Every structure is written in structure tokens, then in C-alpha cells.
Amino acid sequence: MLLTRQQVKASKRNAQRLGQLLQDARKELEQSLAIIEHTAIAQGSWGTSEIAYSQNAHSIIGDILAIANRWDQFNHFEIDEKLSEIEDKLYQD
């Protein structure tokens, strides 16, 4: 099936959004893991809020990869909607 120019542009834009979301989620996960490591090593304890934050970032990465895995099964409107949901989770601050 041939895509229209608009669909190609939307697909490219969504792919860029997906890549940026993955990059931001990875950074969040790295930061929270660094805090967990530091707390465990320096203080000999676990910070439950940091663990929950790390789990949230890990879950978001899973959501992103699930979209990427099924990319060809969604139209660009569905992808846009799913990316917006992930953005809401990731950037809720």
C-alpha cells in the first residue's frame, strides 16, 4: 500500500517523537538507578520512592518498545494517540 505524502511526514514525525521519548525515558531510568545505587552504597538503605520512579521509567520504556514492535499495525493517528499517552506519563512533572 502506498502512503500519501502526509502519511509519510506523519510517520517520520511520530518516529522522531518515539525516539525522543525513548531517549528521555532512558535518561530518567539512568538517573533514578544512580540515585538508588548511591543510596544503597552510601547510606546502606533503599529509597522506596526512587525504586518506584525507576519502575515507572522502566514501564514507560516497555510501552515505547511495544509501540515500536507493532509500528506497521497502527495507522499514524493511532501512533500519535499512543505517543501522547506516553508523553503524559513521562512528562507529568
- Compute the chain's Rg from CA coordinates: 17
Is 26 within a domain? yes
Q: Residue 44: what are its φ and ψ, rounded to 5°?
A: 65, 35
Parent domain of 22: 15-90
Is 22 within a domain? yes
Is 45 within a domain? yes
Counted domains in the chain: 1
Q: Spell out the residues 6+ positions from residue 86 whose beta carbon is closer than 8 angstroms to its own.
A: 21, 60, 63, 64, 67
Residue 18 and residue 83 in contact, taking contact as beta carbons nearer than 8 Å = yes
Instruction: Check residues 47 and 55 and name the one with the higher pLDDT.
Output: 55
pLDDT at 93 over 70: no
Residue 1 has what pLDDT? 60
Is 2 within a domain? no
Strands (E), 1-93: none
Is 82 within a domain? yes
Is 1 within a domain? no
Average pLDDT over residues 40-67: 88
pTM of the predicted model as reported, rounded to 2 decimal places: 0.84
